[in-house]
Structure 1
């Protein structure tokens, strides 16, 4: 369902941008990124901490769940009003602040849904978690199609997103109450317990805020430094990176729960690491190579864009997918460290990566435009991914099967050569993708990568 619903939603989002224009969509992208920068105030690390703790320690009483739920509910109520203050201080006008409030409200509903999903993941209920992960996208697809018939605008699109997130939350509260008892969702005002939660979860909260800054600071800086039009163009390119990275954000949280569950069992943990590298690596390698040779094909729905705008987005996109290629090999290691005690190290490295990204943006944006932000993203991701490898090897944090990395590198070389050859002989994109896909499947089997999944 994820592989069906989310691509449809992605295509519709392209159509939304094409309908409302790059400037209006650029404003939405900047406001959305600004809200995401402060999303840590909605979570404070609770979701990730709850997944890790309850996966490793079964048998938690309903009152423990209730305490966490009450804390999350208060955070969700405060957050939209806090963002109004942020928007005012930054200098947004009244109409823009109203849109920022609505975007922030949708995030409040989203984080409550993520809390429920964290409980599903902790109790290893991955099927219902997957359904919850696509519910908002499904409702958004239906609502967006309706808006296209009525006449879509930036305002009614943002309003739709609020309604969609509230509906998704209400739908999955019902099975959650049945699975975990109504007492788990009762409200308790308990400041002392909430202080204890913050003490326990702040390492995860710091990871959340740092990842938010790492991922969204570019969009905000582009809008402030280059304007709404440039922000819209960058959003058009970044959307595709974000979309394909969504595959990892669907898969890796499941591995996060498994890493936490088996952290004291080295043999099983080693198998899960290998499996996570293969499952997350092969698709990301394939799509990265596709974008480098046929990336312009992804902008087919932006028919109202000029050739110069398409060319600028394509150039930016191809650079951004250098970061996706890096994540293909190393994203699983970051999830491993988060689940097994490496939070503090990740926080330190993320701070360094953010500093690198911001400094490079200041230097490169006036010089290279939106491609400068893409270059900064790739360099900062090289830094953070290298730090994961350094920590694991230096501290012997977990046993790694180096042959898996070597095989993935060989598979990447084969994929690159195949797409290069197809592009050189001017094969159409779908024939090049099909041919390369068959080669990737064949060599994956020939390299026995499937056996590492089978043994798990």
Structure 2
């Protein structure tokens, strides 16, 4: 397959980088397609109230599950790259720490649930939330993913993810065909995590080593925790940033509105794998230019921002005009979801800032501004929560979509407020307002 030419980048280099990350891209695209189709089938089967209940469990538990991971996955990958001879000690220690983290969040989930019951009588039992929260324990096996990443053997992870998603999709479709009730689908969420854990375990045993050789080491544990806590905190912030609107919709409007909004989020955010795939593929070329040719580095960075805007803007325009048709086709038998169409037409525009934010995040890290990623997330979360407090009661789920749009914009362009990062913000503004596109047209 011929890869389209990207202005400003060497075609042979781009193709090489894309091939190197191809397995990861296949896994993401495959998972995306399966999840969308199953999500639509589930929404049509459960209807908006029960679908909202199911979404609520995931959104609520996500904050605690992010905390249970302790930020270890990414840091362990880096440690394995630096010290591959310490594999068993690093993996064993991280695994035990994540198990402890997964167990520790269970009483916290219960406490948070009890606090929320003081504000509003819950529509779903705590047992549903507890079942989903056990995912925090099962994700301890995700540390195996870190090992294969450090070995650049993404194809093994791809096989597990694709197989797990196919089996998971088959199970959910079977539950629908058997006309089973909501508790079965709640259990299916935990089953997904168990299935993925078993897949990781199998692939590690087959292609690497036995987990019997893993060892826990106190000194290693202290080293991991002392260095990974900022990543853990950042993961929690990202979870709040991405999921808080769903909990606030439930609090203000109830499960039916959340069910509709969940379909919006699913369709709007399904494209977010694109900037990750592009940046992962092209970033090495940008880093090479930064090392060898500063002028070329700036040109490639600007071209990357241009590419992010061109793709996301095209998607936003297309989805805005086709949203009513998408809903009438995807939810032909359940018109109760159709009010989500105009909300999707708002939410989809947040994708422009997600695309730009993904690209600029990597550029800022390359320039040594690592802590800014956390600060950006805090800004986005604060803006999102603040606007949702006022806009959801007044404008409903459309207000939540608008709050997300403003929050993503604020997070992405907050770097304009700092002199050291302002040049990157100005470059993004040039792309956003198509200034560089006009310049390129004039020079041709």
| Change in CA separation of 1:259 and 1:196 when aligned onto 2, cut-off 3 Å | farther
**What displacement does 1:280 show?**
5.9
Q: Distance in 1 between matches of 2:286 and 2:127?
A: 41
Question: Is 1:130–2:155 an aligned residue pair?
Answer: no
The runs of 4+ residues in structure 1 deviating greater than 6 Å are 253-256, 259-264, 410-413
Contact 2:69–2:136 under 8 Å retained in 1? no
Residue 245 of structure 1 aligns with which residue?
272
1:38 aligns with 2:67: no
User: SS at 1:151's partner residue?
Assistant: coil
| Match runs of 1:365-444 below 5 Å | 365-388=392-415, 394=420, 406=431, 409=434
Q: Secondary structure at the match of 1:353?
A: helix
Matched, 1:347 2:374: yes
Matched residue SS, 2:216: coil
Deviation at 1:73, TM superposition (A): 2.5
Q: Label 1:363 to 1:384 Cα distance change in 2 as closer, same or farther (>3 A).
A: same
SS in 2 for 1:394: coil
Query: What is the CA–CA distance in structure 2 between the aligned matches of 1:356 and 1:74, rounded to whole Å?
Result: 33
- CA distance in 2 between partners of 1:164 and 1:53 (Å): 28
SS of the residue 1:303 aligns to: coil
In structure 1, the residue matched to 2:240 is 213
- CA positional deviation for 1:368: 0.7
- Cα RMSD over matched residues? 3.9
TM-superposition CA deviations, 1:312-352 (whole Å, max 9, x none)? 31111111111102222331222444577433222223222
With over 3 angstroms needed to count, the CA separation of the structure-2 counterparts of 1:315 and 1:52, relative to structure 1, is farther
Q: Normalization by structure 2: what TM-score?
A: 0.79
In structure 2, C-alpha distance between the alignment counterparts of 1:74 and 1:263, rounded to whole Å: 43
Aligned residues: 410
Worse-matched range after superposition: 240-249 or 150-159: 240-249
Hey, what does 2:228 align to over in structure 1?
201
C-alpha distance after superposition, 1:401-450 (max 9, x if no partner) = 9699749948999xxxxxxxxxxxxxxxxxxxxxxxxxxxxx99xx99xx
2 CA distance for matches of 1:266 and 1:102? 52
CA 1:241–1:53 in structure 2 vs 1: closer, same or farther (change >3 Å)?
A: farther
For 1:334 and 1:82, how far apart are their aligned partners in 2? 32
Structure 2 residue aligned with 1:186: 214
**Which aligned pairs between 1:199-348 and structure 2 lie closer than 5 A?**
199-248=226-275, 265=291, 270=297, 283-299=311-327, 300-306=329-335, 309-310=337-338, 312-337=339-364, 341-348=368-375
- The answer for unaligned runs of 5 or more in structure 1 is 414-442, 449-456
- Residue 55 (structure 2) pairs with residue 29 (structure 1): yes
Q: Which residue number in structure 2 is paired with residue 452 of structure 1?
A: none
Instruction: State TM-score, norm by structure 1.
Output: 0.77
Q: Tell me if the contact between 2:347 and 2:401 (Cα under 8 Å) persists in the aligned partners.
A: yes
1:88 to 111, 114, 117: 114
- Map of 1:97 onto structure 2: 126
Structure 2 vs 1, CA of residues 25 and 267 (structure 1 numbering), >3 Å: closer, same or farther? Answer: farther
Unmatched segments (≥5 aa) in structure 2? 1-25
How much has 1:366 moved relative to structure 2? 1.2
